[in-house]
Structure 1
Amino acid sequence: MANGLANGTSERTKNRTFELVGGHPALDLVNTLDWRFRDSGPEELMTDYGDMVRFAEQSGLMSNAQARRLIRNTSETKAAQVVAAVRGLREAAAQVLYAALEDDVAPASAVAQSESCFKAAQKAQRLHWTGARLAWELPQSASLPELPLWLLSLSAAELMTSDEMERVRACGNAECRWLFLDTSKNHTRRWCDMKICGNRMKARRFKAQHRA
């Protein structure tokens, strides 16, 4: 379609696979700004609307068919607006979550932005009869490019207002610090992924010991 993203979506975007190690979509969303604490600067993994939709799909928030329709039917202008809004949600969530980890007070601006995103998503919900009861649901139309934003906002609201916040941890790699839910038996998980940062940090310690 002339107004859609299909023709401008690269193979990289179509095949983008996210490392979903957080145990919750809101934590994995924060992790889409990779190497957040690296001196040389972070790496943006959510580079465009296609990436954002694929992330929502891989996180289990929408179907593959929904993702394809959104990418095909969303204009580039609207797509850019939604990506900016999702990144805003992500950074507000990051400030709140890292503040909680450090027993600090979350910035008022981050709380206000989170509240704005949460309220907008809640306002978009409609009551739906399931056959046995009423349930709040978001409209699933492909003409609603904000759907990924709303889904991610509701997911973040669910986590950040729950007791699950007590299990949020950050990777022990100071440059990484990806967030995850510690569901280990003794609550001793240290790394976002043992194959990635765990092995990397073990190798770093090994080299340091042998240099000494």
Structure 2
Amino acid sequence: MNHAFELIAGHPALDLVNTLDWRFREDPPPEELLNGWDDLARFTEQSGLMSNAQSRRLLRSMGESKKPQIVAAVRELREAAAPVLYAALGSDDPPASSIKLLEHYFRKARESQHLLWDGDRLGWELAQSPAPAELPLWMLALSVAELTTSDQMRMLRECGNPECRWLFLDTSKNHTRRWCDMKICGNRMKARRFKAQHRA
């Protein structure tokens, strides 16, 4: 059964990083949510980056051999973005290798854009027809580029559950959001503290 992604981050780039669930858990190991093309297509649709019609058109135009390559590249983009974003939270310097890999994907995505007139102004858009197989990858790369070079990075937070640490933009009124989802990690951590207090 196809699962729906829990998009709680407030930005597609952060939701992408969160597709490696329980990233910091040791036992059992982290859970990969992007296991194939169907997952990637569903993720980009739910994120609002692609419509269902675009996804179907892309599927018709690409060969089967391309699908695992694109999924692998999206995962590589995600794992280059993750250390940069987590480093920003700790005021650390991210690995130079991650920045270099992001630069590669950002450049490739920008090279795939075309300058178009929409009736009022010019704008950069990715080619939709014929849709390149890399369209989901380039859309996600541009999303990561947009976030990591913007002032939105000041709102970057991580879930207070040390095993989860999902990323999100804290847009709460007082900037006090602590959990990816109060119903999941918030309640879980409250229950854990409650048990620890009663054992003491």
TM-score, length-scaled by structure 1: 0.90
Partner of 2:144: 156
Partner of 2:10: 23
Alignment of 1:144 with 2:132, yes or no, is yes
Alignment of 1:44 with 2:69, yes or no, is no
Give the paired residue count: 199
Q: Distance in 2 between matches of 1:39 and 1:85?
A: 25
TM-score, length-scaled by structure 2: 0.96
Partner of 1:133: 121
- Higher mean C-alpha deviation, range 143-152 or range 64-73: 64-73
Q: Distance in 2 between matches of 1:142 and 1:18?
A: 28
Q: 1:90 aligns with which of 75, 78, 95?
A: 78
Following TM superposition, by how much is the alpha carbon of 1:74 offset from its aligned partner in structure 2, in angstroms? 2.7
Partner of 1:168: 156
Q: CA RMSD in A?
A: 1.2
Using a 3 Å threshold, how does the CA distance of structure 1 residues 209 and 72 change in structure 2: closer, same or farther? farther
Alignment of 1:53 with 2:41, yes or no, is yes
Q: Distance in 2 between matches of 1:139 and 1:73?
A: 14
Structure 2, unaligned runs of 5 or more: none
Identity percentage of aligned residues? 68
Partner of 1:63: 51
Moved over 4 A (4+): none
Task: Output one character per residue of 1:27-56: Cα deviation in whole Å (capped at 9) or x when no partner.
Answer: 000000000000122100000011111101
Partner of 1:189: 177
Task: Output one character per residue of 1:69-101: Cα deviation in whole Å (capped at 9) or x when no partner.
Answer: 223443221111111110011001001000111
Alignment of 1:74 with 2:62, yes or no, is yes
Q: Distance in 2 between matches of 1:84 and 1:177?
A: 23
Q: Distance in 2 between matches of 1:157 and 1:203?
A: 38
